[in-house]
Amino acid sequence: MFSMNATPLTLLLSALLLSTKTSAEPVSGEASSKSLQVTHNPYASLWNENEEDIAAFLRPRWKTSKLANFRKRELSHYGEGLATGKNRSKRSRGKQCSSDNGGLIQDVIDGTIHGLKHFIHHGWKHDEEWGVALMKAENSEMDNEFLVEVEFGTPKKRTKKQVLKMVFDTGSPDTWVYSPACCYAEDHTFFDPSKSRTFSNRTVVDGKPTRAPDGTPGQKFDASYGSGSTLGYMGIDTVSFSNERIQVENQTIALATSLTASRASRAMEGLMGLSAGIGSVQDGATTTPFEAMSKAGQLNQTYLSCTLVKADRETGKNGGGQYVLGEIDSSRLKGEITWTPVRSAYFWGTYFDRMSIGDVVLSQPPATTAAPIRYMIDTGSAVINLPSAMARKANQQIQGSFYTNSSQVSQHWLVPCETGTVRYERSLPETKRNKPLSIQIEGTNFTVPVEDLVFYPNSPIPSKYTGGKKNLCYSAIQEGPEEISILGLTFIKNHVVVFDQGGQTLSNRRMGVGKRSDIRYD
Ligand SMILES: *[C@@H]1O[C@H](CO)[C@@H](O)[C@H](O)[C@H]1NC(C)=O
Ligand SMILES: *[C@@H]1O[C@H](CO)[C@@H](O)[C@H](O)[C@H]1NC(C)=O
Ligand SMILES: *[C@@H]1O[C@H](CO)[C@@H](O)[C@H](O)[C@H]1NC(C)=O
Ligand SMILES: *[C@@H]1O[C@H](CO)[C@@H](O)[C@H](O)[C@H]1NC(C)=O
Ligand SMILES: *[C@@H]1O[C@H](CO)[C@@H](O)[C@H](O)[C@H]1NC(C)=O
Ligand SMILES: *[C@@H]1O[C@H](CO)[C@@H](O)[C@H](O)[C@H]1NC(C)=O
């Protein structure tokens, strides 16, 4: 379990270098002291190195590192008073399976309905012939997750398409769906492999993933996330995006047979891993669908653009936006995209110039252990997770913030629910008004507006968990691993974010961030 407490560097080192839990050969004391000489700061190395020999050195350590196992903390619901935390069992069961979402996409291309004319721009239509595909994102639970319909498998005669609502996760490499055997299968649409004529279980032969003959057990799958773990077995099948405009054959997918409880109430029916496939801790690793379609030349440009739209603060409804494969989504882009080379072989991660809230600098070069300048952009994390000292400093700048130690509250930092409303900010003395969070990347400031410093603003935490304080909600800035800042949906929904595989060779990966025409940043 990921620890909420600050982790001393020595512990990290031992976790990284001494843990032998999943590594094939035990690491002796001698080997580990040698390793320590090789690299003083293992995370810095995980970060920079792409060369083969270093990768070979790092890989077994990566597998057991705390960072690889960082459990992303979603904001789960617990107890009374949470407007968005309704039990939603039986929600739309079967509906996604039977519906053909071609209608919406067709409308988008025709540009006639939903005002989505932007998909015809520069005078031509964008569709699969040019390797561009648009996927609508459904905003679920007030920005906690954005869901995308993805089709799994190939229908047999007389079986229907199997379309599941997936969370796109640029912070992890593995893709999994609910299997019929799973825990919450009766509450969620699941993938039934027996209804796909292209499914096989996956085994690993000589380190290479292979289709297994029928009746052979699938390779075991075991992954940890913020909400706990997912267990199951691995298979291989076709995965299709945007109403089959882009299809990836022989994709590794995991079929979940067991999940921890907090996922039960969530709308997601699976998670699509979009970080580097070599980062998978499963034997034989994986190639992500995004990597596969990029390598195969299926995309005009090897881009995944995210334009996610936040929900209405008053009602908690609407929002959504879209993911676009193959090009920069200019529908809500204001100005240019700022590009940064990716510096991690595993994550969509690099360095920022400076992170600040108002005039208070949270981190800038030279980076320190307590305030690193590494960050990753993670569509699978709800909020912004910072190393604990940075999270503390940031929250201390937010008026009325409170750190709770209640184990009932899944995140520790709380702020007044009204944070960022015009009325509330005006009621504060001028010098005490909240300031936006600012992340300067390659010389340009990208901003999280004050209204988004609070998460679930309509869901006050019951005062019995807050030492009697009323009207506190989750802060959108929480603690994460000590090594890296994780910019989740709180950041992403205020920007256009583009992940670029760097062409068919997947070299020169880079990340782009742009400002939005529909957002006020002050
Ligand atoms: C795949 O593996 C699972 C779990 O090991 C097993 O239950 C299932 O029957 C296998 N499926 C096929 C088609 O062999
Ligand atoms: C997928 O695997 C099948 C059978 O193993 C093979 O015939 C086919 O060419 C593969 N497709 C791709 C795109 O690699
Ligand atoms: C939702 O409520 C029903 C009945 O009240 C219960 O059986 C079910 O377990 C609940 N589901 C979740 C995910 O809490
Ligand atoms: C495809 O990419 C090229 C640049 O590589 C661009 O000029 C062209 O407009 C793109 N076409 C579409 C349909 O996106
Ligand atoms: C939480 O803090 C309160 C007051 O500071 C203290 O009495 C209590 O023991 C703490 N609980 C835990 C679980 O640390
Ligand atoms: C970015 O914002 C910070 C804090 O407001 C400010 O100090 C800095 O000068 C800004 N940088 C640029 C390039 O505008």
The pLDDT tens digits for 364-384 are 998 888 998 989 999 988 899
- Residue 87: pLDDT above 90? no
Minimum CA distance residue for ligand 2 atom 1: 250
Which ligand lies nearest to the CA atom of residue 221 in the structure? 1
Pick from 89-98, 395-404, 408-417: least confident? 89-98
Cα(178)–Cα(191) distance, rounded to whole angstroms?
6
The C-alpha angle 398, 402, 404, rounded to 5 degrees, equals: 145
Per-position b or e across 59-79, b if 16+ CB within 10 A of its CB: bbbbbbbbbbbbbbbbbbbbe
Cα(289)–Cα(174) distance, rounded to whole angstroms?
10
Cα(461)–Cα(468) distance, rounded to whole angstroms?
10
The answer to whether 198 touches 238, Cβ cutoff 8 Å, is yes
Shortest CA distance to 165 belongs to which of 184, 183, 146?
A: 146
> What residue has token string 């994102």?
137
pLDDT tier for residue 185 given thresholds of 50, 70 and 90: low
How does strand 270-273 pair with strand 176-178? antiparallel
- Residue 83: pLDDT above 70? no
| pLDDT tens column, 420-462 | 999 999 999 999 999 999 999 999 999 999 999 999 999 898 8
Locate 163 and state its tokens: 């379309």
Q: What is the pLDDT of residue 75?
A: 52
Minimum CA distance residue for ligand 1 atom 14: 215
Q: What is the pTM of this model?
A: 0.80
Cα(12)–Cα(483) distance, rounded to whole angstroms?
10
- Residue 54: pLDDT above 60? no
Which ligand lies nearest to the CA atom of residue 266 in the structure? 3
Q: How far is CA 481 from the centre of its chain?
A: 15
pLDDT tier for residue 268 given thresholds of 50, 70 and 90: confident
* The amino acid at 266: R
Within 181-320, residue ranges assigned H as helices are: 289-295
- For ligand 1, the distance from its centroid to the CA atom of residue 174, given in whole angstroms, is 19
Within 271-372, residue ranges assigned H as helices are: 289-295
| pLDDT tens column, 125-173 | 444 457 899 999 999 989 989 999 999 999 999 999 999 999 999 988 8
The C-alpha angle 93, 95, 96, rounded to 5 degrees, equals: 105
Q: How far is CA 108 from the centre of its chain?
A: 26
Minimum CA distance residue for ligand 1 atom 5: 217
The answer to whether 367 touches 353, Cβ cutoff 8 Å, is no
- For ligand 3, the distance from its centroid to the CA atom of residue 127, given in whole angstroms, is 42
Residues 6+ apart with CB under 8 A from 248: 238, 239, 240, 241, 289, 292, 293, 296, 298
The reply to whether ligand 6 has any atom less than 6 angstroms from the CB of 364 is no
pLDDT tier for residue 69 given thresholds of 50, 70 and 90: very low
What values do phi and psi take at 512, rounded to 5? -120, 145
Q: What is the pLDDT of residue 440?
A: 98
From 182, 192, 201, the mutation candidate for ligand 1 (largest count of ligand atoms within 8 A of CB) is: 201
CA distances from 68 to 73, 258, 274, 313, 371 (A): 14, 21, 14, 34, 20
97 vs 236: which has the higher pLDDT: 236
User: E strand or H helix at 53, and its extent?
Assistant: helix 52-64
Q: Is 33 helix (H, G, I), strand (E, B) or coil?
A: helix
| pLDDT tens column, 277-334 | 988 888 998 999 999 999 999 999 999 999 999 999 999 999 999 999 999 999 999 9
The reply to whether ligand 6 has any atom less than 6 angstroms from the CB of 445 is yes
Minimum CA distance residue for ligand 1 atom 9: 215
Cα(372)–Cα(145) distance, rounded to whole angstroms?
27
Shortest CA distance to 144 belongs to which of 262, 255, 256?
A: 262
User: E strand or H helix at 11, and its extent?
Assistant: helix 9-17
Minimum CA distance residue for ligand 3 atom 8: 89
- For ligand 3, the distance from its centroid to the CA atom of residue 457, given in whole angstroms, is 25
Mean pLDDT for the stretch of residues 352-365: 97
20 vs 179: which has the higher pLDDT: 179
The reply to whether ligand 2 has any atom less than 6 angstroms from the CB of 249 is yes
The answer to whether 218 touches 181, Cβ cutoff 8 Å, is no
* The amino acid at 314: E
- For ligand 1, the distance from its centroid to the CA atom of residue 183, given in whole angstroms, is 17
Q: What is the edge-to-edge ordering of all strands in the sheet holding 402-403?
A: 402-403, 413-416, 472-475, 454-455
Residues 6+ apart with CB under 8 A from 121: 330
From 200, 203, 240, 249, the mutation candidate for ligand 2 (largest count of ligand atoms within 8 A of CB) is: 249
